[in-house]
Each structure stands twice: as C-alpha cells, then as structure tokens.
Amino acid sequence: MEDHLKYDVAIMGGGLAGLALSIQLAKKNYSVILFEKEKYPFHKVCGEYISMESWNFLEELGVPLSTLNLPIIDTLNLTAPNGKSFRTKLPLGGFGISRYKMDNLLVSLAKQGGAQILEETKVNDVCFNDDKFIIQYISKKSAGSKQIEASSCCGAFGKRSNLDVKWNRDFVAKKNSRINNFIAVKYHIKTEWPANVIGLHNFSNGYCGISQIEEQKYCLCYLTTAENLKKSGNSIQQMQETILYRNPILKSIFSSSEFIFQSPVTISQISFAKKSLVENHLLLLGDAAGMITPLCGNGMSMALHSSKMAATLIDLFLSKKIDRKKMENGYQQLWRSHFSNRVVAGRILQHFFGSVLLSNLFVGAFKAFPFLAKNIIKKTHGKPF
C-alpha cells in the first residue's frame, strides 16, 4: 500500500459526532480522513434544538456561536393530545440552529484544520487485521471501490447505515417492537411562535417539536410509529390531517404556517434499542452507539460529547500511552457512566408519551406538580462538558 493512503484516524460518517472528532484530532496534528456519503450542506431530520450543555464545547471547536444571533430557548411548552398545555422553564435550556448550517460550519472547520474530508463517498466495509483497519469505500466522483489503511477507526454513521445492516448488528436483527420502528418528518416553516419557547406537542403514538432556528425560521419535526403511516395509506399528508391534527395546537400550527420545503425531509426504521459501543475494534460514536429518544432533546449533545471522549482516548492510544484494549475499554466505561441512565430514562418516557391516555395524564400531573417535570428533564440531560 502506498504511503499517502495510510492515516492515523479514519472516521465513517460526517454528522456532528464525526465532524467534531475530526476537528479535535486534526488539531493534535494526527492525519485524519472522514467519509461522508452526502454533499455538504444538506438537510437532515432533526429537531434542531441543541442543549446548552454543548455551547462551550462548540465554541472551543471554533464555531462562533455568540456571533450568529441564534435564538436562545429557555422554556418548554408541552401539550397533551387533548390540547391541554403545561409550561416550564428549562433548567439549562438550549439554542436553535439548523443542521444545514451547523454541519456546514463544522465541515469548514475540519477542512481548515487539515482533516481530509471525502464527500459523496460511502464506506462499504471495514476490516481489522494485523492491528490496522482497511476501509473500503466508493465515491460518486470516481468509478470502482478504493481502500485506505488507518491505525484507528470510528463509526459515526448515525441511526442506521449500510454498515449496521452489513454487520447484522443486534438492533438491526431485532424484530419490530415498540422501541425500534419509528419514522420522522421535518419541515422548515415561517410561523408565529415565541423565539424562546420549544413546543412539544403530543398526538397518538408520536410527538412533534417546534422551535426557532436561524433567520427567524422554525423547525417543525415529528416522530411517530411506522404503523401510524401505514394506517394512513402511507400518505404523510393524510397522517397529519387524521392523526396529528387531533391535537388542536398542531392543527393550528400546520394550518397557519408557511412551509419552506416543497416536501419534508423524512427517515424511517429508527430504533432506540441498545447498541454496542465497540464493534470489531471500531469505536462507535453518536447515534451509532445508541440513540436517546428525541423528546429528550439532547441527542446532538450526546453525539458531540461522545466525540470528546473518543478524541481523548484515541490521542492516548496514538501517542502510545495506552494500548488498543485500554482505549476500547476506557471509551465504553466513559460512555456508560455519562449516558446509560439518560438513554434508559428516555426510553421509559417514550413509552408514556406514545399513549394518548398517559400523555394526557402526564400533562395534567405536571400542571399540578411542576417539580415532577423538572426532575424528569434533569434525568435526561447532562452538564456542560
């Protein structure tokens, strides 16, 4: 193999986790290559509310958040399917920015820092042999499959990728259940909604978030079961009108807003099942390591935080201070100590909010005992890192 095809670090997937990792390791002068199957900038299904726990970390990476005039969100407005609403201050709060803009800011920083970014390039396979990784990929710009070699390798390929299927990871092999067969839909809209409030509106077997992003636009994004779409003849429009609109607040938002996209961005086969953190010596980051239910609003912070943990351990490994086994074990221990309880709390909440009866009851209980809501929010969020 030629010299220029060897890297210290190979990263598969250029979402928040992969891009943040590439910036941190390129800053330490390691040779970094990142593969992203799409072309930046591009839209992604996400509620686009980032918990404040990530603010300092993003600024340290070089994202000039305080100059971007982004909406700061400090209040949650929760509505039940029957339209009853509950409002509370968020302990830490967050800010709004589209993934189109955020991922693009991060990729520019990664390139400036010296990471090699291969866009429109999909990784097809990774093998670990003789203490190194061989990564096979295919690029839109050139014919045929190519390969490179790397000393360390991370999977930051998100919720579900071709590699999950290829490796038949446990969560892919599991039969459809209440935690692993969701779909999600996202729009950008212009509407009337307070800039400091994130709305979380429940409906039968799902919930829809609304919050402001840059340029006074709003992100309107919902998660529901694949079953709800099937019941609606696989028509998103019909599902919205017959299921979401039963919550009067959602009916009003959908009917009175200006939709910026011609058609929404959508994804399917979302699973909140437990995932492995290391697979064939690859460290898994962000959603590839486990997904917290979106009603908790901090999957992005977990993705960023996991990149910081991985960067620390990979640095120790590449500078020969620890061996590969210690790197892998150390990463898993760190991940579990910070995220395991949050992910479990999110999964429990998801069950309650799927049911019309229970989410009506929950909102009623929060109105009577507001401290309950504050405690639940704390259990699903972390601290600045």
Residue 41: both structure tokens together: 């900038």
- Helices and strands in the chain: count of H runs, count of E runs: 12, 17
- Binding track, positions 102-141, relative to ligand FAD; x by CB under 6 A: --------------------xx------------------
Smallest CA-to-CA distance from 280 within 163, 159, 180 is with 163
Instruction: Please report how the helices 16-27 and 299-318 are oriented relative to each other, as an axis angle in degrees rounded to 10.
Output: 30
Residue 314: both structure tokens together: 């990979």
Q: Is 46 in the site for ligand FAD (CB under 6 A)?
A: yes
Give residue for tokens 């209040």.
75
- Exactly one of 115, 154, 223, 373 binds ligand FAD (CB under 6 A); which one? 223
The partner residues of 96 in beta bridges, in order of sequence, read 49
Q: Is 243 in the site for ligand FAD (CB under 6 A)?
A: no
Using CB under 6 A, which of the segments 56-64, 160-168, 249-257, 276-284 binds ligand FAD? 160-168
How far apart are alpha carbons 259 and 190 in whole angstroms?
7
- Binding track, positions 281-320, relative to ligand FAD; x by CB under 6 A: -----xxx-----x--xxxxx-x-----------------
Using CB under 6 A, which of the segments 7-15, 61-69, 316-324, 356-364 binds ligand FAD? 7-15
Q: Is 264 in the site for ligand FAD (CB under 6 A)?
A: no
The phi and psi torsions of 224 (rounded to 5 degrees) equal: -150, 180
Whichever of 81 and 155 has its CB closer to ligand FAD, that residue is 155
Q: Radius of gyration over alpha carbons of the chain, in Å?
A: 21
* 155-159-165-169 Cα dihedral, nearest 10 degrees: 70
Q: Is 58 in the site for ligand FAD (CB under 6 A)?
A: no
Please classify residue 117 by burial: count the beta carbons closer than 10 Å to its beta carbon, then call 0-12 exposed, 13-18 middle and 19+ buried: buried
Tell me whether the omega of the peptide bond preceding residue 64 falls within 30 degrees of 0, making it cis.
no
- Exactly one of 12, 150, 243, 283 binds ligand FAD (CB under 6 A); which one? 12
Using CB under 6 A, which of the segments 22-30, 77-85, 159-167, 258-266 binds ligand FAD? 159-167
Q: Is 153 in the site for ligand FAD (CB under 6 A)?
A: no
Least Å distance, CB 369 to ligand FAD, is: 26
Binding region for ligand FAD (CB under 6 A): 12-18, 35-38, 44-50, 122-123, 156-159, 161-163, 184, 209, 221, 223, 270, 286-288, 294, 297-301, 303
